[in-house]
Structure 1
Amino acid sequence: MDSNDIGELRLEGFLPYRLSNIAERISQALSLIYAEQFDLTIAQWRILAWLQQERTLSAKRICELTAMDKARVSRAVNQLVERNLIQRQRDDEDQRTLWLSLAPSGRDLLKEVVPRALDWEADIVATLSATEYRDLLRLLSKVEKGLARLDSPTVSTAPGTD
């Protein structure tokens, strides 16, 4: 870094900005596929995708996995239940817990949506080689681990504590 640049923030080189910008652009562009063609919001899509992957989840766990707030998840879950795309089942041992899973119509919908989303992703990363794509995912995992370390209550971020 040039000494004249010390203390100057250049957004095109600031990782949090770049990742946020890319994530928002990707999410908005991808949402056109499932919003216009399948009448799904971003929140609904994320919930369906996680339920497809994990089979059964609580709303609390969905909040953790998607980084969406409780109100947004609750609203999306209610809408998906109303559309009969997911189903709720009360936990036998803890009546406060509701387990969410895909309804048959939700699985059918995902059979249409997922291939389109995967094709769209392939178009985005078409400029990368297979090795570059694997490296990108590996590097993003490392950044996520660094973020998790910073989020940990045992890690001090005070100056001079490293």
Structure 2
Amino acid sequence: MNSSHNFVSPQLCATKVMDVVPSVMRWIHTEVRQQKSTCLTIPQLRALAFIQMNPCSSLVALAEYLGVTSASTSTMVNRLVHKEFITREEHPKLRRQVILSLTPAGEEHLQQVRQISCDRLAEKLVDLSPEQLADLIAGLEELSQIFR
């Protein structure tokens, strides 16, 4: 282990995360926007991803995740329903709540966009050594555990 690891504080690590994560996210957003295979906006793709990770989501939960109003989310949901990427059904017990689910077309579209982005990201990482890749994966797994 490198002796410089002994001097890394949580504050220094937090600063580095705050510096790096936005850059990575900007690259991903740019990559996704440039894909000719998608007819969706980044917020629409985020909505699909949220619904995939949270089956039977409510409109309110999706709005909170996206950080927008329920009215804006409702408009987005209408567009995604019209494109047949999601379904919107009334909650069986709560009349004013809707349940959102991905359709097979929505699942397929999201998977396609993710695969293309993943392939392009892999191209950016191709020059890293196996050890560097393993270290990067270990660090990302640690972050994942912290933010679950």
How far does the alpha carbon of each residue in 1:10-63 deviate from its partner, in whole angstroms, 9 at most, with x for none? xxx675454334322322222222xx3221100111111222233321122223
Q: Which residue of 1 aligns with 2:110?
A: 110
Asked if 1:20 is matched to 2:19, the reply is no
Cross-structure match for 1:41: 41
How far has the Cα of 1:106 moved from its partner? 1.7
Equivalent in the alignment of 2:135: 131
CA 1:21–1:129 in structure 2 vs 1: closer, same or farther (change >3 Å)? closer
Distance 1:82 1:38, change over 3 A: same
Q: 1:18 to 1:75 in 2, by over 3 A?
A: farther
TM-score normalised by the chain length of structure 1: 0.63
More contact order relative to length (CA 8 Å, sep ≥ 6): 2
Which SS does the other structure have where 1:129 is aligned?
A: helix
Tell me if structure 1 keeps the 8 A contact 2:55–2:101.
yes
Deviations 1:40-91 (A, max 9, x none): 10011111122223332112222333x4312543332121011111110110
What residue number does 2:99 align with?
99
Mapped to 2, the partners of 1:103 and 1:90 lie a distance apart of 16
Q: Distance in 2 between matches of 1:55 and 1:38?
A: 22
8 Å CA contact 1:58, 1:97 repeated in 2: yes
Cα RMSD (Å) of the superposition?
A: 2.7
2:31 corresponds to: 29
**Structure 2: which 5+ residue stretches go unaligned?**
1-14
Residues 30 and 120 in structure 1, CA contact (< 8 A), matched pair in contact too: no
Pairwise CA distance, 1:135: 0.9
What is the aligned-residue identity percentage?
Answer: 25
